[in-house]
Amino acid sequence: MGRATNRQIVEKLRNGDRKGAGHLVDAYQDRLISEAVSIFHIDSLDAEELVSDVLLSVIQKIDSFEFTKSDGDFHFWVMTIFRNRIRDHVRHETLKGGLMERFEESALENDQEYSGTELEVVRAVVRQYESSLHSSERSADDPRTVPGKLHVIAETLDAMETWERVLLRCRALDVPYEDISHYTGKPVSQLKVYHQRVRKKFVKLLSEHYPELAIS
């Protein structure tokens, strides 16, 4: 039996058909857990719980979803719910225990060392992020409505060439070089060779937002 299409899943869920829940789990449980663990470094037990929340939200909000272009609309909608849930988890973890330690732990696990500049710049951005989270928590605002917590990253990327920007954004999310090549028109070999160089350029540009660090 073939896998159900997204339209079939949506229709079944709207009709309260339990097969719809089965199809949803088949299509998304493993996929989202895997993304949460391997791309966003979420602990596997937390990832299971988080994905369960995401799929429950899908069922609860299914009436507000509409196909506008294609069958793929549903996938993009589920991924938006997933991304928001991961963001809330990261914010919660950041408020609870600090983000920098987690970055350093994962760098150690990956056997990577920070360069002095990188460490300073990353710390400065993380400090800024943590403080914006704390201040939005202290204020009565809903944290989801406070925009531009990491605007400095967007600004720095905007100052780079389009292909460099796409390369950095996409590789951070493990998009294959082949797809980036297709999108940017640059050969895969060039993207692979230049990735590290582009990353260094990004750190240098990012450091310019923090003159107080006085990085040479």
Residues numbered 7-36 forming contacts with another protein, rule: CB under 8 A:
13-16, 18, 20-22, 24-25, 29-31, 33-35
Please give the Cα distance from 181 to 196 (Å, whole number).
16
Region 66-105 residues binding another protein, contact defined as CB under 8 A: 66, 72, 75-76, 79, 83, 86-87, 90, 103-104
Cβ proximity to another protein: between 40 and 216 the closer is 40
Hey, what amino acid is at 63? D
Among 122, 163, 164, 207, binds another protein (CB under 8 A): 122
Please give the Cα distance from 77 to 34 (Å, whole number).
18
215 binds another protein (CB under 8 A): no
201 binds another protein (CB under 8 A): no
Strand runs (DSSP E) across 13-116, as ranges? Answer: none
Q: How many residues sit in the footprint of another protein (CB under 8 A)?
A: 78
| Choices 62-70, 186-194, 207-215 (CB under 8 A): range interacting with another protein | 62-70
The three-point CA angle 155-160-163 to 5° equals: 125
Half-sphere exposure of 54 (CA within 13 A, CB side): 31
The least distance separating another protein from the CB of residue 76, rounded to whole angstroms, comes to 5
The least distance separating another protein from the CB of residue 152, rounded to whole angstroms, comes to 9
Among 41, 127, 192, 209, binds another protein (CB under 8 A): 41
Region 134-153 residues binding another protein, contact defined as CB under 8 A: 147-151, 153
187 DSSP assignment = -
Among 157, 160, 205, 215, binds another protein (CB under 8 A): 157
125 binds another protein (CB under 8 A): yes
Judged by phi (left if over 0) then psi (alpha if -120 to 50, else beta), residue 213 lies in alpha
Among 2, 69, 96, 111, binds another protein (CB under 8 A): 111
Please give the Cα distance from 2 to 205 (Å, whole number).
50
Burial class (CB in 10 A: 0-12, 13-18, 19+), 88: middle
Please give the Cα distance from 80 to 64 (Å, whole number).
14
139 DSSP assignment = S
Cβ proximity to another protein: between 94 and 190 the closer is 94
Among 92, 97, 161, 176, binds another protein (CB under 8 A): 176
- What radius of gyration do the chain's Cα atoms show? 20
